[in-house]
Amino acid sequence: MKFGIDKIGFYIPKYYIDMRELATMRGIDPDKFTYGLGQDEMSVPPLTQDMISLATNAAYNTISEQDLNDIDLVILATETGSDFSKSGSTSIVSLLGINPKSRCIEIKQACYSATAALQFAKNHLQSNDDKKVLIIASDISRYGLDTSGEATQGAGAVAMLITKDPSLLVLSDKSSYFSEDVWDFWRPNYSDTAIVDGHYSNEQYQRFFNQTFEDYKEKYDRQNSDFDAFLFHIPYTKLGRKTLINYINPSKEIINTFNQSTLFNRKVGNIYTGSLYLSLISLLYNADLDANARIGLYSYGSGAVGEFFSMKLVEGYQDALDPNLPHQFDTREKLTIKDYESMFTAELVSDGSHMILPDDNETFQLKEIKGHRRYYQKN
Ligand code: HMG
């Protein structure tokens, strides 16, 4: 039986900043951000779009009424959880009206966990093949104003519906993974910004790629030329590009598909767990690959876990894509750097007091905090 991605969609906040304007404000050469890091714009979330509302909007953009009844497992992959105990997916199930006879969990391993979720989903479907699994990767990446990580922030969510006989991509059983205790990037429970050893994290990302890709090729007797495209976890697009060039010796066609796979990420920034899958969406919408094209994917989550795995495109996949999805980019509003700074420093109450947030006119939003509980609203 074949299992894989039947539907995929995303949601990004309606605000963004221009990276050249950010660079100028920080006294940095703008070319460093656009060429050096490969980022043009960065999504900025208002307080009303926390990890749960981002995730709910992404799922709403992706699944149908019928899917709501067929889903029986919801996995929220995030490193922006707002609660140590209650999973965000319990809120999402009720907000969307998903069949309550569902398993609901939130999982974490930095930017890697959505990839683990894909494997869990496949295992679940092997014994429940009339059901569907909803995976949502949702995060807000924060390093702090005027830090070296600032230019690699971002926010957004990707939703994927995993089924038998999928319309878009079949997930291969072949996979190589590698884990090691590495302090390259982390966020202690008491901090709302990440701590990072930036250059060391770049080295670990590439070391884990080399480890998992070489292991994959040896285990399954594969060559670089067996792949029609390579996708990477994209904290910023230049790192994916450097890894491609350094370790794969790519053809012009492979470089071209890589560029197409980073067009959306260049405008959004790092969305942690969803970054690899936003890159997959960018590839599906911007490249013209043949059915059965084999795509190699590299997932990396600091701390650290890496996995190299692959998927094959399904015949007619283009017809299964929602043509309206990328229009989200056209309706975004550009913020001045001053407005972005105010949005960045705005805080939700954490002392049990009552806070009501303004309507933001997005489909789902955080509306109220009362008695340490988060209440969401459908607009
Ligand atoms: P930095 O020290 O400010 O930048 O930090 P740099 O000096 O390394 O410069 C960056 C690039 O710009 C370099 O290119 C420069 O040469 C170039 P490279 O040599 O690497 O090819 N450059 C210029 N180019 C054109 N014109 C100019 C110019 N000036 C310089 N004028 C860093 C950059 C990424 C380290 C920092 O932003 C950071 O710490 N970011 C956060 C950490 C990160 O994203 N790490 C990535 C790997 S770890 C990962 O992916 C996991 C993660 O997603 C978290 C998770 O798993 O949950 C982060």
Contacts by 330-339, CB closer than 8 A, 24 or more apart: 331/14, 332/12, 332/14, 332/15, 332/16, 332/43, 333/14, 333/15, 333/16, 334/15, 334/16, 334/17, 334/18, 335/15, 335/16, 335/17, 335/44, 336/21, 337/17, 337/21, 337/22, 337/25
Residues 6+ apart with CB under 8 A from 104: 73, 74, 87, 89, 90, 92, 93
For the chain, percent of residues with pLDDT exceeding 90: 100
Q: Indicate whether 22 and 135 sit together in one domain.
A: yes
Q: Indicate whether 15 and 119 sit together in one domain.
A: yes
Q: For residue 235, what are its two tokens? A: 């904290």
User: For the chain, how many structural domains are there in total?
Assistant: 2
- The residue whose CA has the least distance to atom 27 of ligand 1 is 32
Q: Indicate whether 109 and 254 sit together in one domain.
A: no
| Amino acid 36: pLDDT | 98
Q: Indicate whether 176 and 296 sit together in one domain.
A: yes
- The residue whose CA has the least distance to atom 37 of ligand 1 is 149
Q: Indicate whether 154 and 298 sit together in one domain.
A: no
Q: What pLDDT band is residue 267 in, cutting at 50, 70 and 90?
A: very high
Domain end position, chosen among 320, 336, 360: 320
Is 315 labeled as catalytic in the residue annotation?
A: no
| Amino acid 185: pLDDT | 98
Give residue 58 CA to ligand 1 midpoint distance, Å.
28
Is 233 labeled as catalytic in the residue annotation?
A: yes
Q: Indicate whether 344 and 247 sit together in one domain.
A: no
| Amino acid 200: pLDDT | 98
Mean pLDDT, residues 154-171:
98
Q: Indicate whether 156 and 212 sit together in one domain.
A: no
- Looking up residue 267, the CATH number of its domain turns out to be 3.40.47.10
Which tens digits make up the pLDDT trace of 97-149? 999 999 999 999 999 999 999 999 999 999 999 999 999 999 999 999 999 99
For the entire predicted model, the pTM comes to 0.98
- Expressed as residue numbers, the domain containing 269 is 170-320
Residue 194 CA to residue 188 CA, distance in Å, equals 8
Question: Is there a cis peptide before residue 304, judged by omega within 30 degrees of 0?
Answer: yes
Q: Indicate whether 136 and 154 sit together in one domain.
A: yes
For the chain, percent of residues with pLDDT exceeding 70: 100
Residue 233 CA to residue 236 CA, distance in Å, equals 9
Q: Indicate whether 161 and 227 sit together in one domain.
A: no
Q: Indicate whether 191 and 140 sit together in one domain.
A: no
CB-CB contact of 301 with 111 (8 Å) = yes
Is 372 labeled as catalytic in the residue annotation?
A: no
Q: Indicate whether 133 and 188 sit together in one domain.
A: no
Which tens digits make up the pLDDT trace of 193-234? 999 999 999 999 999 999 999 999 999 999 999 999 999 999
Q: Indicate whether 214 and 311 sit together in one domain.
A: yes
What is the number of the ligand 1 atom nearest to the C-alpha of 31? 26
To test the ligand 1 pocket, which listed residue (20, 24, 32) has its Cβ within 8 A of the most ligand atoms?
32
94 lines ligand 1 (CB under 6 A): no
Residue 351 CA to residue 360 CA, distance in Å, equals 24
Domain end position, chosen among 271, 291, 320: 320
What is the number of the ligand 1 atom nearest to the C-alpha of 28? 31
CB-CB contact of 317 with 168 (8 Å) = yes
Q: For residue 85, what are its two tokens? A: 């105990």
Q: For residue 292, what are its two tokens? A: 């059965």
Domain end position, chosen among 303, 320, 337: 320
Which tens digits make up the pLDDT trace of 35-90? 999 999 999 999 999 999 999 999 999 999 999 999 999 999 999 999 999 999 99
